Amino acid sequence: RSVSVLIHPTQFPAAVEAALRDSLRTREMNHKFHYDTPKQALRWLRLHEALSPARTDPDCGRIYDAAFAEAAARLAGATNVEVVSPGCGGGQKDAQLLRHLKEALPGVALRYVPVDVSVALTLVARSAAIAEGVAPAHIAPLAMDLAASDDWPGALEPVPGDAGVRLVCFFG
């Protein structure tokens, strides 16, 4: 089944080409080119899975669990929650947060906006959210280069008329 992914102008072909030219000129590779293709994105995810403290250190996992439980407690009573995750990567931490929110806030309407420079990574994050029970229709992947945008707050604005709480995550 087809999936809609919003593409911010920072990821339009001309912008990507300009970033590549700049990388070659300065001899400093722009981060976006590490995840440019689906194959590169999946390799990065395997590397992250093998080396990230969030995956290899149980204490790190407990810290995230405690933070997510606190976030859910602060959102008690909310009926609509939009989780926006700039730099979502594969969405593992986002999925963990979404699971906490679903468990702590029964009946809450969750909306998830995975944002990354890589279309492939936003789709992997989307799949992780679906596995946690977020309805596919309530997930809006956005491919965007945050470092190249001066309007990202506007690009991440909630859907007009969508009353609710926004939780913006910068897990990094």
pLDDT at 99: 95
pLDDT at 147: 87
Tens of pLDDT along the chain (172 residues)? 899 999 999 999 999 999 999 999 999 999 899 988 999 999 999 998 899 888 889 899 899 999 999 999 999 989 999 999 999 999 999 999 999 999 999 989 999 999 999 999 999 999 999 999 999 999 999 999 988 888 777 777 665 555 688 899 988 6
Q: Report the amino acid identity of residue 143.
A: A
| CA gap 94, 170 in Å, rounded | 10
Helices (H) then strands (E): counts for the chain: 7, 5
pLDDT at 172: 65
pLDDT at 158: 60
Give Cα separations from 84 to 19, 56, 137, 140, 141 (angstroms).
25, 25, 15, 9, 10
